[in-house]
Structure 1
Amino acid sequence: MPFAAHDLASNAVFFGVLQEHARQMTALFAENPRLNSIFASQQRWLMAQLGLSLHYRPDPQDPAKGLYMGRFVAAAVAYGVASRNTASAFVREMLAYRFARPVDNPPDHRMRPLEPTEVAVQSVVKWLYAHLAILDRLDGGARAVALVENPVLFALLQPAIAQGILENHAVRNPGETFNLFTWANSGGLVMDCFIALIKEFDPQAPRTLVGPVSSTDICQRYLISKTHLKRLMDKAVEMGSLGYEAAAGKNMLWLSQGFVREYWIYQAEKFAIIDAAFHAQAAPEKIADGSALRQLSAVL
């Protein structure tokens, strides 16, 4: 049975594993900052997930069912992810950076389908692998191994995961402070950094100590300007979501219980969506025929 979000959100063991996940996410960013900075905000991440889901859920009977500029823009507006102009600009940017490209020899030459490039797919495969590996640590499963052994599984999982995320209110709007960070470029990585630095965690404590944090290091590591980071931090301080206390001659960062809970609940909902998709799609008969997506083997 897949993990339920409410069980993960009340399990201190899961929070401990989340800290390792936070370190993995920041490490993935460091592997290719140029690529990953493109998706380092909630809006852009949602658009990337949406675009991939349209690509991996085509309809052989209807050539228009795939990743097309018009279809992507309409879906982004329908889900409330972005305006038409923002969604269109995102696609053009993906083409300019060569994270997407026109499909060669489309079935209908009157249409212009798009597809993600290998480097873009590789980034999301690594993202999914990291999440499956965390779930495996919780129950001793073999989800991550299944992804490696059956690359076609990615194409089955990704549309289901994207739909689950796009339609889940707790993932889209986990809380005021979380939204403040995650809708800002690299704000989610800053949160991951804070969570990863926590040494001792008591879910009942009103404050959780993070320790000394270097703003200069964060800005350099996650490609965020000092002005932008200061604006985020100042706003969060005003909200009572974080603050500083003097100890051992240093300013020690702390996070409020509410801020930590928002992060925890968001992650619990996201991991539950991924686990549900895995259990629904990982049946042997669904992953046996991967001829159309054999190229993913090279990615892994």
Structure 2
Amino acid sequence: MAFSTEQLASDPRFVEALRAFAIELRGRYDEHPRLARLLASHQRWLLSQAAFALHLEYDPSEPNSGLTTTRLRDLVTTVGAASRNTVLNFLDQLTSYRFIRVAGDPARRPRRFEAADVTAQAMFDWLLANLATLDRLDGGVRAETLATRPELFRLIQPWVARKSLSDPCWREPPPRVAMFLWTEAGGLVMDELVRRIRPAENHEGRFDIGRIDARQMAEQFMMSRTHLQRLLRKAIDENCLQWQDETKKAGLWFSADFLFEYCSWQAVKFSIVDQAFEEACAKTAVEADVSSSQRNAAGGEP
């Protein structure tokens, strides 16, 4: 049975699982910083999931299927996830960095795009990391199952993408979470803050995340130092973070109520991923049973 959003949000182990997830994502950023940086805002996350779903859903028998500008625009603008111009700029950037390429005849209209190998691998690894996070909670074998049955990926990812887009609870983060996630590279900053949290060390409703070197972090995440400092100041104003010493402004606290807010939002997505995994496994099991029955029937015919 898939985890519900409520089950995940209330599970005390979920914080540690999210911390491990943030650490793993940081490792993936170090492997492909340009790709991770390009997708490090929530809007870019929604666009990338939607675009990859369309890429996987391409059917050669349907001339206008697959990832095209029009189909991506229609998919995301319908729910207000992005504007037409944002979609165009997004695809232009992905093309410029060779994360996607034009498929077939470039003169053909509408042009269809396909994901580059590095993009496909990154999306597969992202899903694997999400499933491994769920496995940490119940000792499951979701990640192992996907690794041994990679064909499940083509069923799971589009399901996750479309469900994420249609669910306003995931599509529209709570205001204080959105403060980070709607900004450029804000997802990377949030992951860095979460990975510093030690859930067992709750100091009267807050966690010690140590000193933030804004210059170093900005360089690592290829973002403006001024932008990062402005984001951190706003987080302090909104009581997401607190100075440990107001005079020295050295170490920072991460507030427990903000962590719960963030975990509750992340629980929406992880529940969607878990449901998608179960749906894919059930679908392939049914198809296998049907195929087996057909073979048996054919073998029994005179």
Moved more, 216-225 or 190-199: 216-225
Map of 1:298 onto structure 2: none
Q: CA deviation at 1:72?
A: 1.1
Map of 2:245 onto structure 1: 246
Q: Output the CA distance in 1 between the equivalents of 2:108 and 2:168.
A: 39
Map of 2:58 onto structure 1: 58
What SS class does the counterpart of residue 40 from structure 2 fall into? Answer: coil
Q: Output the CA distance in 2 between the equivalents of 1:195 and 1:110.
A: 45
Q: How does 1:126-145 map to 2 (within 5 A)?
A: 126-145=125-144
Q: CA deviation at 1:173?
A: 2.3
Q: CA deviation at 1:152?
A: 1.5
> Matched residues, percent identical?
37
Query: Is the 8 Å Cα contact of residues 188 and 221 (structure 2) preserved in structure 1?
Result: yes
Q: CA deviation at 1:110?
A: 5.1
Query: Is the 8 Å Cα contact of residues 152 and 287 (structure 1) preserved in structure 2?
Result: no
Counterpart check, 1:222 vs 2:211: no
Map of 1:293 onto structure 2: none
Structure 1 gaps, min length 5: 289-300
Query: Is the 8 Å Cα contact of residues 77 and 84 (structure 1) preserved in structure 2?
Result: yes
Q: After superposition, what is the alpha-carbon deviation per residue over 1:153-186, rounded to whole angstroms, capped at 9, x for unaligned?
A: 1111110000121122222223111101111111
Q: CA deviation at 1:271?
A: 0.8
Map of 2:70 onto structure 1: 70
- Name the aligned partner's letter for residue 83 of structure 2: S
Map of 1:208 onto structure 2: 207
Q: CA deviation at 1:206?
A: 3.3
Map of 2:15 onto structure 1: 15
Query: Is the 8 Å Cα contact of residues 157 and 278 (structure 1) preserved in structure 2?
Result: yes
Query: Is the 8 Å Cα contact of residues 204 and 257 (structure 1) preserved in structure 2?
Result: no
Moved more, 238-247 or 44-53: 238-247
Q: Output the CA distance in 1 between the equivalents of 2:70 and 2:61.
A: 19
Map of 2:49 onto structure 1: 49
How many residue pairs align between the two structures? 286
Query: Is the 8 Å Cα contact of residues 153 and 287 (structure 1) preserved in structure 2?
Result: no
Q: Output the CA distance in 1 between the equivalents of 2:10 and 2:203.
A: 12
What SS class does the counterpart of residue 55 from structure 1 fall into? Answer: helix
Q: CA RMSD in A?
A: 2.3
Moved more, 195-204 or 3-12: 195-204
Q: Output the CA distance in 1 between the equivalents of 2:239 and 2:109.
A: 56
TM-score by length of 2: 0.87
Q: After superposition, what is the alpha-carbon deviation per residue over 1:217-262, rounded to whole angstroms, capped at 9, x for unaligned?
A: 3112222221010110111122222121129x87221122332122
Structure 2 gaps, min length 5: 289-302
- Name the aligned partner's letter for residue 163 of structure 1: R
Change (3 A) 1:155 1:207: same
Query: Is the 8 Å Cα contact of residues 99 and 115 (structure 2) preserved in structure 1?
Result: yes
Q: CA deviation at 1:131?
A: 0.8
Counterpart check, 1:101 vs 2:101: yes
Change (3 A) 1:22 1:113: same
Map of 2:297 onto structure 1: none
Q: Output the CA distance in 2 between the equivalents of 1:114 and 1:30.
A: 27
Change (3 A) 1:202 1:176: farther
Q: CA deviation at 1:68?
A: 0.9
What SS class does the counterpart of residue 8 from structure 1 fall into? Answer: helix
Change (3 A) 1:110 1:183: closer
Q: CA deviation at 1:214?
A: 1.9
Q: CA deviation at 1:105?
A: 6.4
Q: How does 1:1-300 map to 2 (within 5 A)?
A: 1-59=1-59, 61-104=61-104, 111-201=110-200, 205-246=204-245, 251-283=250-282, 284-285=284-285
Query: Is the 8 Å Cα contact of residues 181 and 232 (structure 1) preserved in structure 2?
Result: yes
TM-score by length of 1: 0.88
Moved more, 202-211 or 9-18: 202-211
Query: Is the 8 Å Cα contact of residues 174 and 262 (structure 1) preserved in structure 2?
Result: no
Change (3 A) 1:172 1:64: same
Q: After superposition, what is the alpha-carbon deviation per residue over 1:167-219, rounded to whole angstroms, capped at 9, x for unaligned?
A: 22222223111101111111111111111111344779433322222222311
Q: Output the CA distance in 1 between the equivalents of 2:66 and 2:287.
A: 21
What SS class does the counterpart of residue 209 from structure 1 fall into? Answer: strand
